Structures are given as structure tokens and as C-alpha cells.
Structure 1
Amino acid sequence: MVIVTATEPPASRSRSRRRPRLIATDLDGTLLHDDKSVSDRTVAALAAAEVAGIEVFFVTGRPARWMGVVSEHVHGHGLAICANGAAVVDLHRGRRVVRVRELPRRDALEVVRALREAAPGVSFAVERTGGIHYEAAYPPFYLDPGAVVAPAEKLLSDDLDDMDESADFAAQPVLKLLAHHPEMDPDAFLRLGREVAGTHAEFTRSSPSALLEISGPGVSKASTLARCCDERGISADEVVAFGDMPNDLEMLGWAGTSYAMANAHPAVLASTTHRTSSNEDDGVAEVVERLLAS
């Protein structure tokens, strides 16, 4: 596993109409149906893209352990960008994390301090490379029964040996901090987080609830995708991207061609020039089929 420091995505380059070399697609609300399934049409379209020489990257806020929804359907597209850019995962090798862009614990603790003061009632979860752990007031993750429950300040500590629970995750990098508020408007909570702690981390959201996803400075889907593309000699204008929520905005702005799903958040619809059908109507497959036919 390689741990690297965060960098900003490169400036947008001139757009062209050349044939794409890479498809970058979000999962929830974009590629997946609402029941979290992948349609046969979508599987066939992505496989056909790779036969035509176009790489496919799944780019999601999900952690590596929640990638089973697509790992059964990968062909050549074995790499995924997870946790909003904080991890690159090899789906062909047991969902192994091969690159990490961590959230420094000092910054995470500053975010916790600022949000506790600005938004009473907030609760936190800490996503590490080995799993998620959260505070007692945080909505429980039923897919993660092994979580340690403790205050965020303790979960972000370097020394957890005095805890009753098994806490061998102390050495694992922090991928994301999550902050949940039971009452605030989701977009208002996002604006507040950026206002009070934006110098310490990147703030975004993808949930319909007031749930902030907080990454290291400069870490986003866009900046990690840009780095992966640069390693392959692929420029931004050779990338077609799909998304639906605020955590997709940077990626959609970086890619040469971007599509908002019909079901997308208003900010995503406002920031993109291309539209496609909803996730329920296989909007990604619709565009991929058109690209291949042309």
C-alpha cells in the first residue's frame, strides 16, 4: 500500500471531441439502480466499452468493503476510486487498498472541535482503511457490526490501548471523517462545515440526510482521478464522467465531458451541460452505447 500526500486537481484543460479513453462513473444514484443492483444492460455496455479500448473507473464515496455491488461485474475495469478519492482499490485482488490519501488526525480533530461548537447535536464516525467506528449517537452501520463505539476524539487518538474493545486499528490511516446532524438541512450543514473548518479538510455530501463526508485537504474524486489518469497518459478531455450528487461536482468539472443524471442534485444539474436518463433508466449505459455507436 502506498500512502501519498494530497494535491489539488489540475486546472481544466481545453475540451475536445476526440473519442474518450476512460469512463469515470459514480455508483449510488448513478450506475446502480435504487435497489443497489447493476442492470444487465449496464454490465454489457461497460464490457463493450472495454472491448473498444475504453477504460472504466468506478469513482465512489463507498469504502472498499462495500464494493461487492460491482466487483462481481468487473471485466478489465479492476481499479476503483473509493471514499471520495481517499483510496484506490484493486477489485480483482480482494478489494485491496493500493493507494491511500489520508486525512491527517490533527486536521480531523480540528474539524471535530469546530463542528461541535458550531452545530450542537452533531455526531461523528471515523472511516479507516480497516473499517468504520463511531460515536454512540451516530446512526449505526448495520453492515459493520465490528465497529468500536467511542467519542471521536478517542477514535482519532494514536493510543487506544486503554480501551476495552480491540483497537488494533490505531495505526490504520484515516480515510474520512463523517459528521451527522439530526435536524439541519443537508446543504446548510455542508455550507456551515466549510465555513468553520474548511481550512482543515475537504467537505462534501452524497446522502439525502445531513451527513458530511470529510477528507484530507485537496482530496476529492477529481484529484485522485486526475492522478490515475496522468499515470496512464490520459488527459482530462479524454474522460467522460457521470454523477448525481455534490461529491461528484469536482470530478464532473474536471472531466472533458460530463453527464448529470436526470435524478441529480440541483447543483449538479446546474454545473453540467450534458444530461442523461436517471439511474433507474440506465442513463450511464444509454450514453456509453451512443458513444460506441458513433
Structure 2
Amino acid sequence: MRDDGAVTSSTPGPRIPAPSAPRLIATDLDGTLLRDDKTVSPRTVAALAAAEEAGIEVFFVTGRPARWMDVVSDHVHGHGLAICGNGAAVVDLHGGPGQHRFVKIRELAVPDTLEVVRILRAAAPGTSFAVERTGGLHHEPTYPPLHVEPGESVAPAEKLLAEDFEGSDVAGQPVLKLLAYHPELGPDAFLALARTAVGDLAAITRSSPSALLEISARTVSKASTLELCCQERGISPAEVVAFGDMPNDMEMLAWAGTSYAMGNAHPDVLTAATGVTGTNNEDGVARVIEELLAARATA
């Protein structure tokens, strides 16, 4: 990025020039659209509104669960849709804070979840687990307080996943993600070890600076769910501009015709994006949106 804040190209060769009239913007939240204090800047709010006024749909694509979407639910400007849980769910936010509605669920099958737990317990002793269902988070006693809310239930993962756990109301809720934490391994080392051990049984990624892995059904990712949503709308990858900062964004950045790694991105993310923009604290997403709209106005 130049000192004047203009967007520059990253090291990968360009795929498609940034379109002057993209049809959809897909943006991660934490470390991307949100500042470090977890707020959305006025400049970014204005850029999102301007994009939608110009007929460009905006999708929030995040690892967050649906119940953590209140931070942006006031800024969706009409469409009210978000891809949550790294692609495990598409959520309608029109009802406002606390009123989200699941419109698409891509669950992690319980037998596969149990097998991943078994494999990681053997491959990385000391791993602790949490289970994210549509109704809330449930975790093991040794799982650290990494989230903004306590778990609804505390028990070994095998019990949390049992068919009769706390009645059918919980056991019947789809599993969106399995979370795995290791207290000693480095984040990237834990990710590499888990992917090797689990193979193609499940999709494993991370977005946390700690050794916390996010595990979904094997075909589920931000990219695959975004692709499904775009196909339903007749939108091609070439018409999508995407933003992200962490490994869980890489497939989405590689799929989109035009994509930007944030200035604060994980080094590996630079290999997936076609460009680099400012950091999340520098309104990097807003800068690109403003440039796209300016180019559209003069086209």
C-alpha cells in the first residue's frame, strides 16, 4: 500500500481487474470490517450504504455465530443476510438484534464430529473442545473462556454430542462447528497437525491468534457457501469483490474474481488475494469501496 492509501497489488499475479460495477461485496468482520475495538467506523458505514444505494449487494461473511451479529445488524441496509460460522449458516438479520433467522444450514454430522474429537485427542493430547449448535455454545470443563459468553452446558465432548444430552431440544439442534483448543501448540502448528490427522473428514481452519481451530463439515467454507448464494442470484465470481485477513478467509479470497488482503492480514492470506488494502483500523474496506464507486461514476 502506498503512503497515500491507494490500493496496490499483492505478489500474486492479477486474475481479473477490479470491476467498476461489481454486483456483490463479501467481507469478513473481525480484523477486516471491524476495528480492533469491534466497532464499525462511520466511514465504513457510509461506504456500505453507498454500495447498496448503487445496487451492489453486501454480504458479511464471518466465523462468528449468528447471535454475535448484532455488531453489524444496524448496517446491512436492506438485505439483512450474513454467512456465519465459516459458511455453516446463512442468517436473515431483518428482525433486528436477537431476532436472527436461519435460512440455510450446512451442519457437521454428529458421527463425523465424534470421530474428529477422537482423532485430535490422540494426535494432540491436551486438546479441549467446544460444540457450536444453532442454539448456543457447549464446551468441555478444560476449554478456556475464549468467547464473550459462557457455554450453555459444560461436559466432555462425547457427552455434549450424545443423542440424549440434556433432552431432545439440545441434541436435536444441528452442529455448526466444532472448536478445538490447545494450550501449548502454536496456532499454525496446531492447524497443520490437525489437517494432516483429520484428512478430508472435515474442513479445518482458524481465525484466532490463539491455537483455536474451527472445524466444519468437509465441503463447508466461507467460499463454498458464498458460491451457493451467488449461484442463487446469478452472480459470477468475476462480479464479486472480497475482503479478509485470516486463514479462514483464504478460500473465499481465491474464489472471488477480485479480492483484498487487509494490511494487517496473516502472511499466508497474501497468497490468496489479488490485492492489498489498508488495515482494519485504517478503513481498508471502505477505501476500496469508495474507489470502486468512483470508478463506476466515471465509467
The answer to whether TM tops 0.5 is: yes
Match of 2:138 among 133, 136, 158: 133
Cα distance change on mapping 1:195 and 1:146 into 2, 3 Å: closer
Q: Percent of pairs identical after alignment?
A: 71
Pair 1:159–1:196, CA change in 2 (3 A): same
Match of 2:293 in 1: 292
The runs of 5 or more residues in structure 1 that have no matched partner are 1-13
CA deviations on 1:29-55 (whole Å, 9 max, x unpaired) are: 000000000000000000000000000
Moved more, 139-148 or 61-70: 139-148
What's the secondary structure of 2:154's corresponding residue? Answer: coil
Displacement of 1:143: 3.4
In the TM superposition, residue 199 of structure 1 has moved relative to its aligned partner by 2.1
Deviations 1:120-163 (A, max 9, x none): 110000000000000000013563335100000111111114xx
1:217 offset after TM fit, Å? 1.2
1:202-250, CA deviations, whole angstroms, 9 ceiling, x for partnerless residues? Answer: 0000000000000001000000000000000100100000000000000
Change in CA separation of 1:39 and 1:113 when aligned onto 2, cut-off 3 Å = same
Amino acid at match of 1:148: S
Range that drifts further, 88-97 or 100-109: 88-97
Per-residue deviation at 1:96?
Answer: 1.2
The CA distance in 2 between the partners of 1:145 and 1:96, in whole Å, is 22
SS in 1 for 2:78: coil
Partner residue of 1:23? 25
* TM-score scaled by length of structure 1: 0.91
Task: State the AA in 2 paired with 1:106.
Answer: P
Cross-structure match for 1:248: 249
Q: Which residue of 1 aligns with 2:171?
A: 170
**DSSP-derived class of the 1:145 partner:** coil
Alpha-carbon deviations, 1:142-194, whole Å to 9, x = none? 63335100000111111114xxxx77311000000000000101001001111
For 1:6, the equivalent position in structure 2 comes to: none
Cα deviation digits, residues 249-287 of structure 1 (max 9, x gap) = 000000000000000000002322301000000000000
Measure the CA separation in 2 of the matches of 1:16 and 1:207: 31
Q: 2:127 aligns with which of 112, 122, 130?
A: 122
Name the counterpart of 1:62: 64
SS of the equivalent of 1:286 reads helix
* 2:87 alignment partner AA: G
Q: Is contact 2:244–2:261 with CA below 8 Å preserved after alignment?
A: yes
Distance in 2 (CA, whole Å) between partners of 1:142 and 1:34 is 16
Letter in 1 for 2:116: V
TM-superposition CA deviations, 1:9-42 (whole Å, max 9, x none): xxxxx74654210000000000000000000000
> How many residues were matched structurally?
277
The aligned counterpart of 1:275 is 276
- 1:1-294 matches, within 5 Å, as 15=16, 18=19, 19-93=21-95, 94-140=99-145, 143-145=148-150, 147-161=152-166, 168-294=169-295
**In the alignment, residue 127 of structure 2 is paired with which amino acid?**
V
Residue type of the alignment partner of 1:62: R
8 Å Cα contact 1:26/1:60 also seen in 2: yes
Bigger shift: 27-36 or 135-144?
135-144
In structure 2, distance between residues paired with 1:146 and 1:120: 22
What is the alpha-carbon distance in structure 2 between the residues aligned to residue 36 and residue 232 of structure 1?
30
3-state SS of 2:292 partner: helix
Question: Is contact 1:148–1:167 with CA below 8 Å preserved after alignment?
Answer: no
What SS does the aligned partner of 1:253 have?
Answer: helix
